[in-house]
Structure 1
Amino acid sequence: MPTLSDFPIGQKWPAQHPDRLQLYSLPTPNGVKVSIMLEETGLPYEAHRVDFATDDQLSPEFLSLNPNNKIPAILDPDGPGGQPLPLFESGAILMYLADKTGRFVPQDAAARWQTLQWVMFQMGGVGPMFGQLGFFHKFAGKDYEDKRPRDRYVNESKRLLGVLDKHLIGRDWVMGDDYTVADIAIFPWIRNLVGFYEARELVGFDAFKQVARVLDAFVARPAVQRGLNIPAAP
C-alpha cells in the first residue's frame, strides 16, 4: 500500500503530520476555497505554502501532483479505500471533501446536482471572468490603450453578478437555507473582485444588494475568516 513518502511532493514539502490531509496552496480565491472548506469541516490537515515568487508551482515535485501547475492541490493519506489520493482543481477538491465528510452538499440527489451546477457556474464563469477583469483593471492589462478587452470582462462580470443577485432574492445562501460548497466556491471570488481587484465601482457592485448581503454573511463566518489566511505568509 502506498504511503505519503512514495509521493515526490513530500521531498520539497515534508509532512510533519503524515496522517493528516496535505494542502498545497496560497491564499488566492481558488486557494482559500479549499482552506475554508477544510476549516468548515474540521478535517485535520497540514498546509504547505506554494510560493509563486520562487516558481514553486513549476517545480518537478509540485508538477508530480498537479501537472497543470496551479494551486490548490491536496494529498489525502486516507482516500477512498484507505489509499492516498492526490487531487487538483479546486472544484473537484471541494466536492471530494464534501463527500468525504458528508457536509455542505445535499444528500438529496436533485439538490446535489443543483448545488453542483452553481459550483460549475463559479468554475466556468465567475472565476475566469473576474480573473481577466483583474488583469485588465489592476495588473499589466491596465496599461493597454485599447479598453475593449477590459470592458468585455467588465460587462460579463456585471452579467454574472446580475444572475447571482436575482437568484439570491429570498434566499439566505445560494441553495436557500443551507450553506453549501456553492457558497464556498463563489464568494471568495466576489470578495476578491471588490477587494484585491479594486473593481467595486467599475462593476457597480453596490447595485447588487443580494450579492453584497450574502458576501457579508460569508466573511463573517469564523471558519471563513481563518481560511482566508491559509497558508500563512512566512
Structure 2
Amino acid sequence: MSTDDTPPKVWTWDKENGGQFASINRPTAGARFDRDLPRGDHRFQLYSLATPNGQKVTILFEELLEAGHDAEYDAWLIRIGDGDQFGSGFVAVNPNSKIPALMDHGTDPTRRVFESGAILLYLAETFGAFLPKDPAARTEALNWLFWQMGSAPFLGGGFGHFYAYAPTRIEYAIDRYTMETKRQLDVLDQHLATNRFMAGDEYSIADMAIWPWYGQLVAGKLYGDAATFLDAARYGHVRRWQDEIAARPAVQRGVMVNKISGQPSEQLHERHSASDFETMTQDKRAAQTGA
C-alpha cells in the first residue's frame, strides 16, 4: 500500500500483513508439504480443530451417538496455527485448506466432505436425524443453516478479526463489523422470541451450526470481552436458546473434541471412543505421564 493508503493499481504480495495468522496466510492454494493423514478404525474420519466451525460437526456426531445411531468416529487434531491444513493429505480432502474435513470410508468409493455446513447436511441425511421430515420445517432448518454459512464470515472474519486479531485497531472496520454482528444478533433474537429452536420446536443441524458462533458469542466465550462490547445481555431470547443447548450432554462433549485451549480437563485433543472423555482429556494425560 502507498503511504497515503491509496491502493496500488495491481496488488502484489511481498510481505506478511501482520496479525495472529500472518505466518500462514498466503494468496495461493495447494499443498505446501507432504504429509499423510492418520486413519483410525471407524467409518468416519474427522480432521478438525475446536473452532466454532469444527465444533458444529463434533456436536452433531455426539448428538447422533447420544440418539443411538452407529456414528462412531475418529477425530484427529489439525493445528491450523502450525499450518497442518496445508499438508498434502489434508489438501486432498479439502482443497480449500480449512477445517473441518471428513472422510467417509463406508462408501465405495470413499467420499470426502468439506465445508462444515455440507458435513452437517451429509451426516443428517446419512442417518436420517436432526433434519425435520416435515417439508416446511426441513426448509426452515435449511434456511437457517445457510444463513449461518453466509453470515458467520462477517462475525468471525470481520468482527472477530478486527476486534481481536488485527495487528492494529481500525475504528472504521470495528464499527462496520460490530454493526453487522449486532444486526445479526437481532435477527436471531427476533426469530427466537417465537421459536424454541431455529426450525421451530425441533432441534436440528441449524441449531448446531449457529450455536457455536452466536450462542458462544453471547455467552462470553469468543473474542475476549466481546460479549460486553456487543451488549450481548440485551439479546435475551438468544441467551435463553444458548443456555438450553449448552445444557445438552452431547453438546458439552462435542465442544471438547479437538480442543487445545482453556482448562486441561475440557481439552480432548483426539477422540477415538466414548471412553476418551473420561480417560484421555489433557489433565488425565498429564497425570498419566507425570508432566
Question: SS at 2:102's partner residue?
Answer: strand
Q: Which residue of the partner structure matches residue 214 of structure 1?
A: 241
- Give the aligned residue type for 1:183: D
> 1:69-91, CA deviations, whole angstroms, 9 ceiling, x for partnerless residues?
00001001124xx5421010000
- In 2: Cα distance, 1:106 partner to 1:15 partner: 32
- In 2: Cα distance, 1:178 partner to 1:109 partner: 13
Task: After TM superposition, give the deviation of residue 189 of structure 1 in Å.
Answer: 0.2
Gaps of 5+ in 1: 1-10
- In 2: Cα distance, 1:60 partner to 1:13 partner: 8
Equivalent of residue 59 in structure 2, options 36, 47, 72: 36
Equivalent pair of 2:85/2:97 in contact (CA under 8 Å):
yes
Could you say which structure has the greater relative contact order, defined with CA pairs below 8 angstroms and 6 or more residues apart? 1
Q: Which residue of the partner structure matches residue 207 of structure 2?
A: 183
Flag the structure with larger Rg.
2
- In 1: Cα distance, 2:210 partner to 2:164 partner: 21
Q: Which residue of the partner structure matches residue 155 of structure 2?
A: 130
- Give the aligned residue type for 1:21: F
Q: Segments of 4+ in structure 1 off by > 4 A?
A: none
- In 1: Cα distance, 2:257 partner to 2:37 partner: 16
- In 1: Cα distance, 2:232 partner to 2:215 partner: 11
- Give the aligned residue type for 1:114: E
- Equivalent residue pairs, number: 218
Gaps of 5+ in 2: 1-34, 66-70, 259-267, 270-281, 283-291
Query: Would you say 1:49 and 2:73 are equivalent positions?
Result: no
> 1:127-146, CA deviations, whole angstroms, 9 ceiling, x for partnerless residues?
111102111111125x23x3
* Greater fraction helix: 1
Question: SS at 2:76's partner residue?
Answer: strand
After superposition, where does 1:144-163 map in structure 2 within 5 Å? Answer: 144=169, 146-163=170-187
- In 1: Cα distance, 2:38 partner to 2:201 partner: 41
Task: After TM superposition, give the deviation of residue 182 of structure 1 in Å.
Answer: 0.6
Query: Would you say 1:169 and 2:193 are equivalent positions?
Result: yes
Task: After TM superposition, give the deviation of residue 54 of structure 1 in Å.
Answer: 2.5
Q: Identify the range of structure 1 (191-200 vs 22-31) with the bigger mean alpha-carbon deviation.
A: 191-200
Question: SS at 1:22's partner residue?
Answer: strand
Q: Identify the range of structure 1 (168-177 vs 191-200) with the bigger mean alpha-carbon deviation.
A: 191-200
Q: Which residue of the partner structure matches residue 26 of structure 1?
A: 49
- In 1: Cα distance, 2:155 partner to 2:43 partner: 33
Q: Which residue of the partner structure matches residue 67 of structure 1?
A: 95
Equivalent pair of 2:215/2:238 in contact (CA under 8 Å):
no
Equivalent of residue 136 in structure 2, options 105, 110, 113: 110
Question: SS at 1:86's partner residue?
Answer: strand
TM, length-normalised to structure 2: 0.72
Task: After TM superposition, give the deviation of residue 16 of structure 1 in Å.
Answer: 2.5
Q: Which residue of the partner structure matches residue 196 of structure 1?
A: 222
Matched-pair identity in %: 42
Query: Would you say 1:15 and 2:47 are equivalent positions?
Result: no
- In 1: Cα distance, 2:88 partner to 2:38 partner: 15
TM, length-normalised to structure 1: 0.89
Task: After TM superposition, give the deviation of residue 190 of structure 1 in Å.
Answer: 1.5
Question: SS at 2:75's partner residue?
Answer: strand
- Give the aligned residue type for 2:63: E
Equivalent pair of 2:36/2:88 in contact (CA under 8 Å):
no
Task: After TM superposition, give the deviation of residue 110 of structure 1 in Å.
Answer: 2.5
Question: SS at 1:170's partner residue?
Answer: coil
Task: After TM superposition, give the deviation of residue 53 of structure 1 in Å.
Answer: 3.2
